[in-house]
């Protein structure tokens, strides 16, 4: 059987299916036959470190359990003829739900009011202060791709005005901004859902956060690298930005104490797609790519850089 290197975790179902066709070697076990590895199964967080890719001369396919693949050097993969696959679409609805949940939790002060009940404060001190309505807001989507569009769709019951910023204008009815700061200035909420990587590194900077303003809410379900975290902390601490709902951070799983201490943040441990149902669908597609490649050399969902390979 061909040899597969497993980087990071995989579900029992994925491992059982892979084990039928591959000899599985786990990176975490420390030793693997580097020269014989033809397939890698990894995830969006761990990716494939350059030194590991360089160590695998027979590598043909990297199957990534996740849609974001910024932790894989696709330029080097393409140069070496290694196909990279990922799991687009099957997680759109779930990540959109996470973005909407974070937005609503910020607007309706879900965590503050939950604490008000749990602590007994309601009984002792009476009603909690009023919150803000999430209805009729102008929502700017940074990255109107598969998930960005799903977020726009899922927000419909709250009657938002959707606007967006991407590098290229899309064929949609929403207002397009070619300048992120100008969009932030016109928005109540800015939702980040671009890929990570160099082109989006810290594009949500101090200027953008200040433009979003004291009544503004930042939601980040993309990658921690997209937002300048130090600038975000300063903006929240000084009242230049109102609220932040974050699923992703610069140095996961480390989350700066300042963000954890603030009452105007809602923090999640990178669980955008993390439901049983969606992870099962992602796992199935991850393994389907591996098995199809083994069978006939083709794949189902290559990353765009590998589409013509
Ligand atoms: P798509 O490729 O469908 O969409 C990406 C969008 O981002 C496109 O509209 C693209 O438009 C835009 N974009 C890319 N680069 C830039 C840039 N430099 N500036 C502005 N806009 C940009 O991806 P998906 O919607 O499927 O996924 C998006 C990302 O969501 C993933 O790459 C991943 O990082 C993140 N994600 C996070 C999850 C979580 O658990 N929190 C789960 C799943 C995904 P254009 O090219 O025209 O700029």
Q: For 242-291, what is each residue's pLDDT tens digit?
A: 999 999 999 999 999 999 999 999 999 999 999 999 999 999 999 999 99
Determine whether the shortest distance from the Cβ of 167 to ligand 1 is under 6 A: yes
Q: What pTM value is reported for the model? A: 0.98
Cα–Cα distances (Å) from 257 to 52, 195, 264, 267, in that order, read 33, 26, 14, 12
**What's the pLDDT band for 28 if we cut at 50, 70, 90?**
very high
Residue 65, beta-bridge partner list: 43
Catalytically active residues, by annotation: 223, 252, 270
Contact 67 CB / ligand 1 (< 6 Å): yes
221 lines ligand 1 (CB under 6 A): yes
- Fold exhibited by the domain 92-267: Rossmann fold (3.40.50)
Does the Cβ of 47 fall within 6 Å of ligand 1? Answer: no
How many CA atoms does the CB half-sphere of 76 hold within 13 Å?
16
Please tell me the class of the 3-89+276-306 domain. Answer: alpha beta
Substitution site in 96, 166, 302 for ligand 1 pocket (most atoms within 8 Å of beta carbon) = 166
Q: In the chain, count of helices (H) and strands (E)?
A: 12, 12
Residue nearest to atom 38 of ligand 1 (CA): 272
Question: What are 96-128's pLDDT values in tens digits?
Answer: 999 999 999 999 999 999 999 999 999 999 999
What residue segments make up the domains of the chain, in order of their start?
3-89+276-306, 92-267
Cα–Cα separations (whole angstroms), residue 126 to 79, 123, 178, 252, 286: 65, 6, 47, 38, 51
Contacts of 199 (CB under 8 A, 6+ apart): 167
Structure tokens at 298: 């083709």
Output the CA 68–ligand 1 centroid distance in Å.
Answer: 8
Cα of 62 vs centre of ligand 1, distance in Å, is 20
Q: What letter does residue 130 receive in the DSSP assignment? A: P
In this prediction, what percent of the chain has a pLDDT beyond 70?
A: 100
Q: What distances in angstroms separate CA 252 from CA 226, 247, 283, one per listed residue?
A: 13, 10, 22
Ligand 1 pocket check for 102: Cβ under 6 Å: no
Q: Is the peptide bond before 253 cis (omega within 30 degrees of 0)?
A: yes
Q: What is the pLDDT, as a whole number, of residue 273? A: 98
């Amino acid at each position: 059987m061909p040899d597969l290197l497993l980087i990071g975790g995989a579900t029992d179902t994925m491992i059982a299916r892979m084990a039928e066709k591959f000899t599985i070697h786990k990176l975490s076990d420390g030793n693997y036959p580097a020269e014989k590895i033809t397939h890698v199964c990894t995830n969006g967080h761990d990716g494939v470190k350059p030194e590991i890719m360089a160590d695998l001369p027979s590598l043909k396919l990297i199957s990534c359990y996740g849609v974001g693949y910024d932790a894989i050097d696709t330029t080097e993969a393409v140069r070496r003829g290694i196909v990279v696959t990922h799991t687009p679409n099957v997680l759109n609805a779930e990540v959109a739900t996470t973005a909407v949940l974070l937005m609503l939790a910020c607007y309706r002060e879900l965590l503050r009011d939950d604490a008000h009940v749990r602590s007994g404060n309601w009984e002792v001190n009476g009603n909690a202060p009023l919150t803000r309505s999430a209805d009729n807001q102008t929502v700017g989507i940074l990255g109107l791709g598969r998930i960005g569009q799903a977020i726009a769709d899922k927000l419909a019951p709250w009657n938002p005005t959707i606007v967006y910023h991407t590098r290229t204008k899309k064929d949609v009815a929403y207002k397009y901004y070619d300048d992120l700061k100008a969009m932030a200035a016109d928005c109540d909420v800015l939702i980040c859902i671009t890929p990570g990587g160099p082109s989006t590194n810290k594009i949500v900077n101090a200027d953008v956060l200040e433009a979003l303003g004291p009544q503004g809410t930042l939601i980040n379900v993309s990658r921690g690298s997209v937002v300048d975290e130090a600038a975000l902390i300063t903006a929240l601490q000084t009242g230049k930005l109102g609220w932040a709902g974050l699923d992703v951070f610069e140095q996961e799983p480390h989350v700066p104490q300042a963000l954890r201490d603030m009452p105007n943040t809602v923090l999640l441990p990178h669980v955008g797609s993390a439901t049983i149902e969606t992870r099962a669908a992602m796992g199935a597609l991850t393994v389907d790519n591996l098995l199809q490649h083994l069978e006939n050399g083709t794949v189902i969902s290559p990353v765009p850089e590998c589409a013509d390979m």
